[in-house]
Amino acid sequence: MSRIYVKDLACYKNANAGQRRAALKRLSPDNYFDLDLLPTEGLKEEWRKYLTFRGEQLSLGSIRAELWPYHVLCRFLKEVYPGLERFLDEELLQMQKQLKKWMMKNGYNLTQSRYRRELGKKIVERSQIPRSLDSIYDFLSIEEMIETEKDVWNLEELGFPVRNNPVHRLQSLNFRGIAQKGIRVEVKRAAAATLHYLAAATVQQQLRAVKRLAEFLQVRYPKVQSLLEMTRDQWEDYLVFLNTEVSGKKSFRSELSSLKSLIETVGKVYENSSLSQVILAGDIPAREGLTPRNGYTDRELQKLNEEITQLQEQIARVLILHQILANRISETLTLKQDCLVKRNGHMMVQIFEVKTQRTCYKPVNQDTIALLQKAIEYTRRKYGNTEYVFVNDRHPNEPMNYAYIQYHLMKMIQEKDLKTDQGQLFGVWTHKFRHSFAKRMTEMHVDDCTIAELLGHRGTQAVRYYRKFGNQALADETREVRSSIDDILSIIVKDW
């Protein structure tokens, strides 16, 4: 059989009547993938396995997006690789280069734009054609390679637990942006070591940093194929490049710190002590001076909360509790069903800090307790006994995803045309509610230790950032200058 019909795929067979009606407005069950368009029997068999797998993984509505890139890739393979029997016989990076040339020659766009409602803007991303090529490579490499040898790691397949933020969960780590094979292997070995004790998001930051360095080395120093070959002069050249040719970024402190940590790990893994001397401590920019934390004004908070209370009830409860408890959003979304506890005669909320991996307790009043209990009852009634108070609709054993909150907030802001006191549309930044709470505490003259405790901070160092942008702090700091200006003005007025 040389055709794979949509109606024969698992996504069609498993779809209910409503899902079929919705999908079939733009897709016919008689649409098919024509295997005869492929140049060899080997590729036909690999595509057959892959498309069957995709039919099991995707929804009926999503399978439609596979049809067009498949037929474009068939043309590419027939023209550029007419004798290829197995995808893995050709290195992916080489095939990606050939595909890019072919697409440009034949008038296909390398990127595509789409509107992201939750962001309120259009974003530009890679075309579906090269992404489909990546996808089939990933599928075919599963059986032939162990996870840490692949260019894209599935974090759940590594064989050991990985620290992952449950509300910003990373599914994979992608090493493909590193063109040099030697550097790619070194970074993989370093990542495999550090994932045992660092959070996945931290390793991802290191990956972003080293990809920029690898791209620079490929252009300026193409002979360098290993981080172990990099010299101090080349590193200094890279620092000059960052500060003179890279635009759109104010500070490289965080990126350079991540890169320094990664390169030092590579040196330890390969027992090369000289690598730690390539990047010196003085290469990392000093932390900038005290930067005030921005918060919402009372009027802005009232405007936002009036609309938040009109959202779906569980989303509204999340956002109101988030403001009351002054949590990080990951802490609010991971509140557990048994979070209400009694300590020293007072009712408290037990909170697990995802960022610091520790537990803290915050006092709550009867109104907050009632709101939490309502949220718990809602979840139990709809999903049964779950670990978390706020859960993912599709996977109730997992906490509600931050992207879900972000989408509904942005949708609300766009539809209601909600603007700040300066007349600009609100952004979606839930951490700003936390800043607003801290600002209010400083204006109420609450001591630093209490504020730090309420925010879940280990020390009081960060509290000064919140005091810096309070109205009282601004008045105190400018009093002497304003007094001097008043004296000058009074003299001028007398002269008039």
What one-letter code names the amino acid at 286? A
Using CA atoms, how far apart are residues 369 and 340, in angstroms rounded to an integer? 8
From first to last of its 496 residues, what are the pLDDT tens digits of the chain? 688 998 888 988 888 888 888 877 778 888 889 999 999 999 999 999 999 999 988 888 888 889 999 999 999 999 999 999 999 889 888 899 999 999 999 999 998 887 776 566 778 889 999 999 999 998 887 766 778 888 889 898 888 899 998 888 898 999 988 989 999 999 999 999 999 999 999 999 999 999 999 999 999 999 999 999 999 999 999 999 998 988 877 788 899 999 999 999 999 999 888 888 888 888 888 766 545 557 788 888 889 989 999 999 999 999 999 988 888 899 999 999 999 999 888 899 999 988 888 888 888 889 999 999 999 999 999 999 999 999 998 889 999 998 899 889 988 998 889 998 888 888 877 888 887 777 777 777 777 777 777 776 767 766 666 666 554 544 454 445 435 534 544 554 444 3
Using CA atoms, how far apart are residues 265 and 272, in angstroms rounded to an integer? 10
Number of helices and strands in the chain (H, E)? 19, 9
Same domain, yes or no: 440 and 371: yes
Using CA atoms, how far apart are residues 201 and 207, in angstroms rounded to an integer? 10
Using CA atoms, how far apart are residues 36 and 44, in angstroms rounded to an integer? 8
Using CA atoms, how far apart are residues 194 and 209, in angstroms rounded to an integer? 15
CA 487 to chain centre: 53
Same domain, yes or no: 65 and 170: no
Same domain, yes or no: 243 and 347: no
Q: Enumerate the β-bridge partners of residue 363.
A: 348
* Angle subtended by helix axes 60-80 and 92-105, to nearest 10: 90
Same domain, yes or no: 220 and 305: no
Contact indicator for 26, 64 with CB cutoff of 8 Å: yes
Q: What is the CATH number of the domain that holds 351?
A: 1.10.443.10
Q: Is residue 86 part of a domain?
A: yes
Q: Is residue 423 part of a domain?
A: yes
Same domain, yes or no: 342 and 442: yes
Secondary structure (DSSP) of 330-381 = HHHHT-BTT-EEEETTEEEEEEEETTTTEEEEEE--HHHHHHHHHHHHHHHH
Same domain, yes or no: 222 and 189: yes
Three-state SS at 329? helix
Domain end among 98, 118, 144: 144
Per the structure, the count of domains in the chain is: 3
Tokens of 244: 């003179």
DSSP-derived pairing of the beta strands 346-353 and 121-126: unpaired
Q: What's the confidence (pLDDT) of residue 41?
A: 94
Q: Is residue 281 part of a domain?
A: yes
Using CA atoms, how far apart are residues 389 and 369, in angstroms rounded to an integer? 13
Same domain, yes or no: 342 and 441: yes
Q: What's the confidence (pLDDT) of residue 486?
A: 45
Q: Is residue 324 part of a domain?
A: yes
Q: Is residue 492 part of a domain?
A: no
Using alpha carbons, select from 180, 187, 184 the residue that is nearest to residue 216: 180
Using CA atoms, how far apart are residues 296 and 302, in angstroms rounded to an integer? 10
Q: Longest C-alpha distance within the chain, in Å?
A: 100
Q: What's the confidence (pLDDT) of residue 462?
A: 66
Q: Is residue 479 part of a domain?
A: no
Using CA atoms, how far apart are residues 142 and 136, in angstroms rounded to an integer? 10
CA 26 to chain centre: 31
Domain end among 256, 288, 320: 288
Using CA atoms, how far apart are residues 224 and 244, in angstroms rounded to an integer? 22
Same domain, yes or no: 133 and 159: no
Same domain, yes or no: 310 and 420: yes
Same domain, yes or no: 371 and 236: no
Q: Is residue 249 part of a domain?
A: yes
Same domain, yes or no: 325 and 456: yes
Domain end among 94, 109, 144: 144
Tokens of 55: 């039919």
Q: What's the confidence (pLDDT) of residue 467?
A: 63
Sign of CA dihedral 72, 78, 81, 84: positive
Q: Is residue 208 part of a domain?
A: yes
Three-state SS at 66? helix
Same domain, yes or no: 131 and 183: no
Using CA atoms, how far apart are residues 259 and 202, in angstroms rounded to an integer? 11
The whole domain housing 31 covers: 1-144
Using CA atoms, how far apart are residues 425 and 419, in angstroms rounded to an integer? 4
* Angle subtended by helix axes 92-105 and 128-141, to nearest 10: 160
Q: What is the DSSP-derived secondary structure letter of residue 419?
A: B
Contact indicator for 336, 350 with CB cutoff of 8 Å: yes
| Helix H or strand E encompassing 78 | helix 60-80
Question: Residue 329 to residues 163, 165, 387, 441: CA-CA distances in angstroms?
Answer: 17, 11, 17, 19
DSSP-derived pairing of the beta strands 121-126 and 111-116: antiparallel
